[in-house]
Protein backbone atom coordinates (compact mmCIF):
# COMPACT_ATOMS: atom_id res chain seq x y z
CA UNK A 1 0.00 0.00 0.00
CA UNK A 2 1.07 3.60 -0.59
CA UNK A 3 1.08 5.54 2.66
CA UNK A 4 0.89 9.33 2.53
CA UNK A 5 1.96 11.14 5.71
CA UNK A 6 0.17 14.48 5.43
CA UNK A 7 0.41 17.33 7.93
CA UNK A 8 -1.69 20.43 8.22
CA UNK A 9 1.02 22.92 9.10
CA UNK A 10 -0.70 25.66 11.08
CA UNK A 11 -1.40 27.52 14.35
CA UNK A 12 -4.58 27.18 16.42
CA UNK A 13 -7.52 29.43 15.47
CA UNK A 14 -8.95 30.11 18.91
CA UNK A 15 -5.92 31.17 20.90
CA UNK A 16 -3.21 30.89 18.22
CA UNK A 17 -0.26 29.67 20.31
CA UNK A 18 3.32 30.29 19.18
CA UNK A 19 4.94 29.08 15.95
CA UNK A 20 7.78 27.49 17.94
CA UNK A 21 5.45 25.20 19.91
CA UNK A 22 2.65 24.69 17.37
CA UNK A 23 4.74 24.26 14.23
CA UNK A 24 8.54 24.27 14.45
CA UNK A 25 9.33 21.94 17.37
CA UNK A 26 6.75 19.20 16.69
CA UNK A 27 7.65 19.24 12.96
CA UNK A 28 11.30 18.73 13.88
CA UNK A 29 10.30 15.74 16.05
CA UNK A 30 8.44 14.23 13.10
CA UNK A 31 11.41 14.81 10.79
CA UNK A 32 13.62 12.85 13.22
CA UNK A 33 11.29 9.87 12.70
CA UNK A 34 11.24 10.46 8.93
CA UNK A 35 15.04 10.50 8.79
CA UNK A 36 15.29 7.39 10.94
CA UNK A 37 13.04 5.39 8.58
CA UNK A 38 14.01 7.31 5.45
CA UNK A 39 10.65 8.60 4.19
CA UNK A 40 9.25 11.97 3.10
CA UNK A 41 6.14 13.79 4.34
CA UNK A 42 3.58 16.10 2.77
CA UNK A 43 3.08 19.48 4.47
CA UNK A 44 -0.16 21.31 3.70
CA UNK A 45 0.95 24.79 4.66
CA UNK A 46 -1.64 27.26 5.92
CA UNK A 47 -0.11 30.02 3.84
CA UNK A 48 -2.62 32.73 4.81
CA UNK A 49 -0.50 32.90 7.98
CA UNK A 50 2.61 33.67 5.91
CA UNK A 51 0.80 36.44 4.05
CA UNK A 52 -0.27 38.07 7.33
CA UNK A 53 3.24 37.71 8.79
CA UNK A 54 4.64 39.49 5.74
CA UNK A 55 2.01 42.19 6.06
CA UNK A 56 2.80 42.92 9.74
CA UNK A 57 6.49 42.08 10.01
CA UNK A 58 7.71 45.65 9.47
CA UNK A 59 5.48 46.86 12.28
CA UNK A 60 6.26 44.13 14.83
CA UNK A 61 9.83 42.73 15.22
CA UNK A 62 8.35 39.59 16.84
CA UNK A 63 6.46 38.82 13.64
CA UNK A 64 9.56 39.33 11.53
CA UNK A 65 11.23 36.69 13.71
CA UNK A 66 8.20 34.40 13.36
CA UNK A 67 8.17 34.87 9.59
CA UNK A 68 11.85 33.96 9.24
CA UNK A 69 11.47 30.95 11.51
CA UNK A 70 8.53 29.47 9.61
CA UNK A 71 9.78 30.45 6.17
CA UNK A 72 13.18 28.84 6.82
CA UNK A 73 11.64 25.61 8.04
CA UNK A 74 9.38 25.38 4.97
CA UNK A 75 12.35 26.01 2.69
CA UNK A 76 14.48 23.43 4.49
CA UNK A 77 11.71 20.80 4.39
CA UNK A 78 11.29 21.36 0.67
CA UNK A 79 15.04 21.31 -0.01
CA UNK A 80 15.22 17.99 1.83
CA UNK A 81 12.62 16.42 -0.46
CA UNK A 82 9.46 16.81 1.62
CA UNK A 83 6.38 17.91 -0.22
CA UNK A 84 5.00 21.43 0.33
CA UNK A 85 1.35 21.75 -0.75
CA UNK A 86 -1.51 24.21 -0.41
CA UNK A 87 -3.86 24.52 2.59
CA UNK A 88 -6.26 27.47 2.63
CA UNK A 89 -7.90 28.94 5.74
CA UNK A 90 -9.48 32.06 4.27
CA UNK A 91 -10.39 33.58 7.64
CA UNK A 92 -6.84 35.00 7.61
CA UNK A 93 -8.38 37.60 5.29
CA UNK A 94 -10.25 38.98 8.31
CA UNK A 95 -7.48 38.43 10.86
CA UNK A 96 -5.65 41.23 12.64
CA UNK A 97 -2.63 41.41 14.91
CA UNK A 98 -2.29 43.39 18.11
CA UNK A 99 0.24 43.32 20.97
CA UNK A 100 -1.83 40.56 22.56
CA UNK A 101 -1.56 38.31 19.50
CA UNK A 102 -3.69 37.27 16.54
CA UNK A 103 -7.35 38.22 16.66
CA UNK A 104 -9.38 35.76 14.58
CA UNK A 105 -12.77 36.49 13.09
CA UNK A 106 -14.26 33.20 11.91
CA UNK A 107 -17.32 34.67 10.17
CA UNK A 108 -15.75 33.82 6.81
CA UNK A 109 -14.16 30.50 7.82
CA UNK A 110 -15.34 28.78 4.63
CA UNK A 111 -14.30 29.85 1.11
CA UNK A 112 -17.96 29.72 0.20
CA UNK A 113 -18.33 33.05 2.06
CA UNK A 114 -16.33 34.75 -0.70
CA UNK A 115 -17.21 35.56 -4.33
CA UNK A 116 -15.67 33.53 -7.15
CA UNK A 117 -13.35 36.44 -8.04
CA UNK A 118 -12.22 36.75 -4.44
CA UNK A 119 -11.63 32.98 -4.28
CA UNK A 120 -9.47 33.12 -7.39
CA UNK A 121 -7.45 35.91 -5.87
CA UNK A 122 -7.03 34.01 -2.58
CA UNK A 123 -5.77 30.91 -4.43
CA UNK A 124 -3.35 33.08 -6.39
CA UNK A 125 -1.95 34.85 -3.30
CA UNK A 126 -1.82 31.79 -1.01
CA UNK A 127 -0.17 29.58 -3.65
CA UNK A 128 2.33 32.22 -4.86
CA UNK A 129 3.64 32.99 -1.38
CA UNK A 130 4.57 29.31 -0.98
CA UNK A 131 5.97 28.78 -4.46
CA UNK A 132 8.22 31.80 -3.99
CA UNK A 133 9.72 30.20 -0.88
CA UNK A 134 10.19 26.67 -2.23
CA UNK A 135 10.86 27.57 -5.86
CA UNK A 136 8.80 24.55 -6.97
CA UNK A 137 5.28 24.11 -8.31
CA UNK A 138 2.39 23.05 -6.09
CA UNK A 139 -0.11 20.51 -7.47
CA UNK A 140 -2.23 19.46 -4.48
CA UNK A 141 -4.85 21.10 -2.28
CA UNK A 142 -6.43 20.43 1.10
CA UNK A 143 -9.27 22.67 2.25
CA UNK A 144 -9.02 24.32 5.68
CA UNK A 145 -11.39 22.61 8.12
CA UNK A 146 -12.37 20.16 5.30
CA UNK A 147 -14.63 22.91 3.87
CA UNK A 148 -14.22 22.23 0.14
CA UNK A 149 -17.91 22.42 -0.72
CA UNK A 150 -19.41 23.70 -2.96
CA UNK A 151 -16.44 22.87 -5.20
CA UNK A 152 -17.98 24.57 -8.24
CA UNK A 153 -16.85 27.91 -6.80
CA UNK A 154 -13.22 26.69 -6.56
CA UNK A 155 -13.04 24.93 -9.91
CA UNK A 156 -11.85 27.92 -11.98
CA UNK A 157 -9.04 28.57 -9.49
CA UNK A 158 -8.02 24.87 -9.58
CA UNK A 159 -7.80 24.96 -13.39
CA UNK A 160 -6.11 28.35 -13.56
CA UNK A 161 -3.43 27.59 -10.96
CA UNK A 162 -2.61 24.02 -11.98
CA UNK A 163 -4.05 22.13 -9.01
CA UNK A 164 -4.55 18.52 -10.07
CA UNK A 165 -5.01 16.61 -6.83
CA UNK A 166 -7.23 17.17 -3.83
CA UNK A 167 -6.88 15.39 -0.50
CA UNK A 168 -9.72 16.76 1.64
CA UNK A 169 -12.56 14.23 1.47
CA UNK A 170 -12.87 11.35 3.94
CA UNK A 171 -15.40 8.53 3.76
CA UNK A 172 -18.64 9.39 5.61
CA UNK A 173 -17.10 12.59 6.97
CA UNK A 174 -19.61 15.13 8.21
CA UNK A 175 -19.68 18.27 10.32
CA UNK A 176 -22.81 20.31 10.62
CA UNK A 177 -21.77 23.28 12.76
CA UNK A 178 -22.57 26.60 11.10
CA UNK A 179 -18.98 27.81 10.74
CA UNK A 180 -17.38 24.56 9.69
CA UNK A 181 -19.88 22.76 7.50
CA UNK A 182 -18.99 19.80 5.26
CA UNK A 183 -20.75 16.62 4.18
CA UNK A 184 -18.98 13.78 2.36
CA UNK A 185 -21.83 11.27 2.63
CA UNK A 186 -22.04 10.91 -1.18
CA UNK A 187 -18.37 9.83 -1.49
CA UNK A 188 -17.71 6.13 -2.13
CA UNK A 189 -15.42 3.96 -0.07
CA UNK A 190 -12.52 4.08 -2.59
CA UNK A 191 -8.83 5.00 -2.34
CA UNK A 192 -8.84 7.47 -5.27
CA UNK A 193 -11.03 8.64 -8.15
CA UNK A 194 -11.25 11.34 -10.81
CA UNK A 195 -13.73 14.18 -10.43
CA UNK A 196 -14.81 17.34 -12.20
CA UNK A 197 -17.46 19.37 -10.33
CA UNK A 198 -17.77 17.61 -7.00
CA UNK A 199 -14.84 15.92 -5.23
CA UNK A 200 -17.27 13.38 -3.73
CA UNK A 201 -18.58 12.22 -7.13
CA UNK A 202 -16.46 10.07 -9.42
CA UNK A 203 -16.19 11.25 -13.04
CA UNK A 204 -13.89 9.24 -15.29
CA UNK A 205 -13.45 12.24 -17.59
CA UNK A 206 -12.69 14.63 -14.73
CA UNK A 207 -9.53 16.78 -14.73
CA UNK A 208 -8.84 16.32 -11.02
CA UNK A 209 -7.93 13.38 -8.78
CA UNK A 210 -9.27 12.93 -5.28
CA UNK A 211 -6.97 10.94 -2.98
CA UNK A 212 -9.11 10.97 0.16
CA UNK A 213 -7.83 10.99 3.71
CA UNK A 214 -8.22 7.51 5.23
CA UNK A 215 -11.33 7.15 7.35
CA UNK A 216 -12.26 4.97 10.30
CA UNK A 217 -15.44 4.33 12.29
CA UNK A 218 -15.21 5.58 15.86
CA UNK A 219 -17.58 4.96 18.78
CA UNK A 220 -18.54 7.63 21.34
CA UNK A 221 -16.60 5.64 23.98
CA UNK A 222 -13.38 6.40 22.11
CA UNK A 223 -14.05 10.14 22.37
CA UNK A 224 -14.94 9.80 26.07
CA UNK A 225 -11.51 8.25 26.61
CA UNK A 226 -10.10 11.11 24.57
CA UNK A 227 -11.76 13.69 26.86
CA UNK A 228 -10.69 11.74 29.96
CA UNK A 229 -7.04 11.71 28.85
CA UNK A 230 -7.20 15.45 28.20
CA UNK A 231 -8.60 16.02 31.70
CA UNK A 232 -5.91 13.94 33.43
CA UNK A 233 -3.25 15.88 31.59
CA UNK A 234 -0.37 13.40 31.95
CA UNK A 235 2.94 14.39 30.38
CA UNK A 236 2.96 11.88 27.54
CA UNK A 237 -0.47 13.10 26.41
CA UNK A 238 0.38 16.78 26.59
CA UNK A 239 0.25 18.37 23.11
CA UNK A 240 3.26 20.25 21.77
CA UNK A 241 1.01 23.14 20.72
CA UNK A 242 0.54 25.93 23.25
CA UNK A 243 -2.69 27.36 21.82
CA UNK A 244 -6.38 26.40 21.87
CA UNK A 245 -8.82 25.29 19.21
CA UNK A 246 -11.74 27.50 18.21
CA UNK A 247 -15.13 26.89 19.85
CA UNK A 248 -16.27 25.44 16.49
CA UNK A 249 -14.15 22.36 17.05
CA UNK A 250 -15.46 22.01 20.60
CA UNK A 251 -19.05 21.90 19.32
CA UNK A 252 -18.07 19.07 17.00
CA UNK A 253 -16.50 17.16 19.93
CA UNK A 254 -19.85 17.30 21.77
CA UNK A 255 -21.56 15.63 18.79
CA UNK A 256 -18.88 12.91 18.65
CA UNK A 257 -19.47 12.08 22.33
CA UNK A 258 -23.05 11.05 21.68
CA UNK A 259 -23.14 9.19 18.32
CA UNK A 260 -20.86 6.81 16.39
CA UNK A 261 -19.02 8.72 13.68
CA UNK A 262 -16.33 8.42 11.05
CA UNK A 263 -13.01 10.09 11.75
CA UNK A 264 -9.94 10.77 9.66
CA UNK A 265 -7.09 8.35 10.34
CA UNK A 266 -4.79 10.61 12.27
CA UNK A 267 -1.46 10.66 14.05
CA UNK A 268 -2.66 13.43 16.40
CA UNK A 269 -2.73 12.82 20.16
CA UNK A 270 -4.69 9.81 21.36
CA UNK A 271 -6.11 9.21 17.86
CA UNK A 272 -2.77 7.66 16.89
CA UNK A 273 -3.97 4.54 18.71
CA UNK A 274 -6.30 3.86 15.73
CA UNK A 275 -3.52 3.77 13.09
CA UNK A 276 -2.96 0.01 13.19
CA UNK A 277 -6.58 -1.14 13.11
CA UNK A 278 -7.43 1.30 10.29
CA UNK A 279 -4.43 0.15 8.26
CA UNK A 280 -5.42 -3.48 8.76
CA UNK A 281 -8.91 -2.75 7.44
CA UNK A 282 -7.54 -0.93 4.38
CA UNK A 283 -5.22 -3.85 3.64
CA UNK A 284 -8.14 -6.28 3.88
CA UNK A 285 -10.15 -4.14 1.49
CA UNK A 286 -7.25 -4.21 -1.00
CA UNK A 287 -6.90 -0.44 -1.02
CA UNK A 288 -3.82 1.09 -2.64
CA UNK A 289 -3.65 4.41 -0.82
CA UNK A 290 -3.69 5.11 2.90
CA UNK A 291 -3.56 8.85 3.61
CA UNK A 292 -2.79 9.70 7.25
CA UNK A 293 -3.45 13.25 8.48
CA UNK A 294 -1.67 15.00 11.33
CA UNK A 295 -1.31 18.44 12.87
CA UNK A 296 2.10 19.15 14.45
CA UNK A 297 0.34 21.32 17.07
CA UNK A 298 -1.61 18.23 18.23
CA UNK A 299 1.34 15.82 18.42
CA UNK A 300 2.11 14.34 21.83
CA UNK A 301 4.92 12.12 23.09
CA UNK A 302 2.34 9.30 22.98
CA UNK A 303 1.26 9.99 19.39
CA UNK A 304 4.79 10.29 18.00
CA UNK A 305 5.77 7.03 19.72
CA UNK A 306 2.75 5.22 18.32
CA UNK A 307 3.40 6.64 14.86
CA UNK A 308 7.10 5.77 14.96
CA UNK A 309 6.30 2.13 15.76
CA UNK A 310 3.49 2.01 13.21
CA UNK A 311 5.47 3.37 10.28
CA UNK A 312 8.62 1.41 11.13
CA UNK A 313 6.58 -1.79 11.12
CA UNK A 314 4.77 -1.02 7.83
CA UNK A 315 7.98 -0.06 6.03
CA UNK A 316 9.56 -3.38 7.09
CA UNK A 317 6.68 -5.10 5.28
CA UNK A 318 5.70 -4.12 1.74
CA UNK A 319 4.27 -0.60 2.18
CA UNK A 320 5.99 2.48 0.84
CA UNK A 321 5.60 6.16 1.71
CA UNK A 322 4.60 8.46 -1.16
CA UNK A 323 4.25 12.22 -1.70
CA UNK A 324 1.82 14.02 -3.99
CA UNK A 325 4.35 15.82 -6.21
CA UNK A 326 5.35 12.36 -7.45
CA UNK A 327 1.82 11.10 -8.13
The site for Zn ion (CB under 5 A) is made up of 8, 10, 144
Beta strand 320-322 pairing with 83-88: unpaired
Go through the chain and tell me how many residues it has: 327
CB 188 within 8 A of CB 222: no
Nearer to Zn ion, 138 or 279 (CB): 138
Nearer to Zn ion, 95 or 282 (CB): 95
Nearer to Zn ion, 42 or 314 (CB): 42
Q: How far is the CB of 37 from Zn ion (least distance, A)?
A: 26
Q: How far is the CB of 60 from Zn ion (least distance, A)?
A: 24
Q: E-strand spans in the chain?
A: 2-9, 42-46, 83-88, 96-98, 101-103, 140-143, 165-166, 174-176, 181-183, 193-195, 208-210, 215-218, 261-264, 289-294, 320-322
Residues 6+ apart with CB under 8 A from 140: 42, 44, 83, 85, 86, 163, 164, 165, 166, 167, 324, 325, 327
Q: How far is the CB of 286 from Zn ion (least distance, A)?
A: 31
Q: How far is the CB of 75 from Zn ion (least distance, A)?
A: 21
- Name 194's bridge partners: 209
Exposure string over 60-79, b if 16+ CB within 10 A, otherwise e: eeebeebbebbbebbeebbe
Q: How far is the CB of 142 from Zn ion (least distance, A)?
A: 8
Residue 79 to residue 89: CA distance in whole angstroms: 25
Q: How far is the CB of 56 from Zn ion (least distance, A)?
A: 21
Q: How far is the CB of 206 from Zn ion (least distance, A)?
A: 25
CB 265 within 8 A of CB 310: no
Task: Please give the DSSP secondary-structure letter assigned to residue 115.
Answer: -
Nearer to Zn ion, 239 or 314 (CB): 239
Q: Please, what sign has the CA dihedral across residues 258, 262, 226, 85? A: negative
Nearer to Zn ion, 282 or 293 (CB): 293
Residue 157 to residue 119: CA distance in whole angstroms: 7
Residue nearest to Zn ion (CB): 8
Nearer to Zn ion, 8 or 268 (CB): 8
Nearer to Zn ion, 46 or 308 (CB): 46
Q: How far is the CB of 146 from Zn ion (least distance, A)?
A: 9
Nearer to Zn ion, 10 or 268 (CB): 10
Residue 66 to residue 71: CA distance in whole angstroms: 8
Amino acid sequence: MNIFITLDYELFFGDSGTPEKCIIEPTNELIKIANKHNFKCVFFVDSGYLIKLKEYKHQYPQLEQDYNLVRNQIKELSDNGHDIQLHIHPHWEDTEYSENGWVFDLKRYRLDAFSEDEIENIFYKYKSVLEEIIDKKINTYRAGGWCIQPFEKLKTAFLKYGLKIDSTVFYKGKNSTKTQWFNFSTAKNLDHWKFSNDPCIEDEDGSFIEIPIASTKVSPSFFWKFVFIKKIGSKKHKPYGDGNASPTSNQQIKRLLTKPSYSVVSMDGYKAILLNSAHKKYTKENKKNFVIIGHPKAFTEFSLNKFDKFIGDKLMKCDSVKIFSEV
